[in-house]
Structure 1
């Protein structure tokens, strides 16, 4: 038996119990509006414990959270020909092949795939050498936005989310996410890969929010979600810095007309990693 690991598990369990026992008892007796709240003292205890585990919390933590319902979402139908025209204009020299659930358009080194469920993928494999000198994060974002505006424009409620830098290729992945009534919808996003030799790919999965479903339910506290990171980051080299925690919605993709997205806490680690913690169960969404 690994006594060291067992000891860590016990310490974690007792810490969580001590932090949340009083709060949970209070909520059982005051469950009228099911608001989730964490005191400053409790949050400081959580931060102190996480720091001992090599996880430094450098983010604003919401102190009070209203109950949240499920969010109904569905795919947004897309006209493949119109999408292709936004990329290739008159389609004169464009070949295409339609299969069961998608249409693939090809023009030289460029390929565009439009799925019936609205997902769009674009690739450009042409090698032009270095055309963007001194490419940095700001310039990459400018180029990504120019590309999107030129090829169909931004969909409603799109907001800039983050830029990931890939050191080996000196390229930037610029990401945009859909925001619905003030909360992100993680499964609805756009990615643009900007490299020194040009924009190499574009991916758009833009879902359609159909309104809330069911009665609002109490969600776990952000402190609970942060404590979950001890297990999630167990094998990650420490120290690790948490740079943000926000409430939004997340869903896997389903072959259906509509389905439910669940409230989640999105925990941002350093700058390049997001972890989604189910707001009802506290489990990691994958």
Structure 2
């Protein structure tokens, strides 16, 4: 994140001018959202996150609508009005704002969060653990999709899009180590551009992924793009093939990080499973179960020889 950036939760009455300076620039002038849609009666009742540059100028905003106002029937808070001035995008401002809003929700005991993500930033929210739900839709003339996050408990992953979001979340949460147990490099998941980009970023920041496979030949025959990435970043990715009959009968698949994130699928050939990003106990259990299987498995030397 940019040095000296200050992000705080603020009251609307104290910071309205700063909040609207950013929101007007992004929503009204840049995106063409009608003013009557951008401003509403909820603002004074919400908690707001405000990002200030080193000179004290506002550069980013977001708001948290309390559950009893956002959706009383579902008892979930809603994050919205996320906006960052163009010169500050890609510098960690949005991440800091979202972390501040999620932290505020947790502090207030609001465990269920939702938001309407603009289509270009769906992956951004996925990296923070929000899972997509339902079809895309138009709101204020812009394509959106509903996304949800449940704090302090595992979330159900039910769709292919949800599985992709779960991978992005775990990869973003990892510090240096990943343990991956896969049947055949998960076609439809580990071969998708957003996940490959996240794996490349993980490698570039010094990460190391150990990947156990039950069927390396299937991945090799399918020209799985992760194999090519691993050849370009051999210090970041290490593959082994499961050969012990008991290990080969294991039906599940998972990824576990060194920071408490995990995505577990009971049936490894399906997308459905559970995700959580702050459960060190379960993540450690998966990594401990991974170790003896890794020791019994053979190195996938055929991957190193494959010329992609």
TM-score (norm 2): 0.24
- Decide which structure has the larger Cα Rg and report it: 1
Which structure would you say has the larger RCO, counting Cα contacts within 8 Å and 6 or more residues apart?
Answer: 1
Identify the structure with the greater strand proportion. 1
Identify the structure with the greater helix proportion. 2
TM-score (norm 1): 0.25
